[in-house]
Structures are given as C-alpha cells and as structure tokens.
Amino acid sequence: MALDELNFMSNKAVNGGWFLEKLDKNLHGSKSMAEEKKILRDIKIQQKEKDVASFKSLEVLKEMAHRYRRVKHIEQIIRQNNYINGWLKLGKEIEQFHIQLIERAFKENISIYESLKKTIKDQIK
C-alpha cells in the first residue's frame, strides 16, 4: 500500500486525469474486487459524461456561431438597404428638383411670352 502511494505521488497525471480518479485507481489493496469494479464503473460514467458535456458544449458553440453569422448577415442586409434607401431618397430629391426647375422655366416662358405678346400689341397700337 505504501509503495503504491509513493509510486502514485511520483507519477504525473496522465491524460489530464483528476486527482481523485488516480487515487481511486491506485488503491487496489484496500478495496474488494466489487468495490474496485464499482469505482471503475463510476469513473467511466464520469468520463462519458465529460465527453457528452464537451459534445454538448461544441453543439452550443456551433449554434452560437451560427446565430452570430445570422445576426451579422442581417446587419449587413440592413446596411445595404439603408445605403440603397439613401440613394433612392437622393434620386427622388433630384427628380423633385428637376420638376421644380421645369415648372419655373415653364412659368418664366409663359410670363416672357405674355410680356412679348403685350409689347407687340402695344407696338401695333
């Protein structure tokens, strides 16, 4: 027993194992075979739970990455829509300005035409 404990203390943890797991594996002399099998079964169950937990955490990470990409994609679409909407607003403003310019020119032409017509009538009289 003492030799097992000394040997256990001198060895470093292999595969990143936990202290209690290594302790349970190295206490052979004081346990019966049934108890050792139970301890090994518990250790294997814990390892499986760790594997499942890491798998679940990977799934969570994948889902979070997917959500992040989806949010970024939506933000990009919103920016593009804002950009397009900005250009559409600018186009509408230019069109309105053009219409106003044509209306002014048309009114001025009418007023010029009327003034010319009036001056011609005055000259004829």
CA–CA separation, 9 and 123 (whole Å): 126
How far apart are the C-alpha atoms of 68 and 123, rounded to whole Å? 81
Structural domains counted in the chain: 1
Has residue 99 been placed in a domain?
A: yes
13 belongs to a structural domain: no
Residue range of the domain that includes 96: 31-124
Q: Is residue 18 part of a domain?
A: no
Instruction: Give the pLDDT score at 73.
Output: 93
Answer yes or no: is 20 within a domain: no
According to the model, what pLDDT value does residue 1 have? Answer: 47
95 in any annotated domain: yes
> Does residue 19 sit within a domain?
no
DSSP3 helix / strand / coil % (the chain, rounded to 5): 90, 0, 10
* pLDDT, position 69: 92
Rounded to the nearest 10 degrees, the angle between the axes of helix 19-26 and helix 2-10 is: 150
**Residue 81 counted as domain residue:** yes
Residue 70: per-residue pLDDT: 93
- Distance (Å, whole) CA 51 – CA 58: 10
Per-residue pLDDT tens digits of the chain, which is 125 residues long? 444 555 555 554 444 555 555 555 555 555 677 787 888 888 887 777 666 556 667 788 888 889 999 999 999 999 999 988 888 998 899 898 888 888 877 777 777 777 777 888 888 87
Let me know if residue 120 belongs to a domain: yes
Residue 15: left if φ>0, alpha if ψ -120 to 50, beta else—which one?
left
- How high is the pLDDT of residue 43? 81
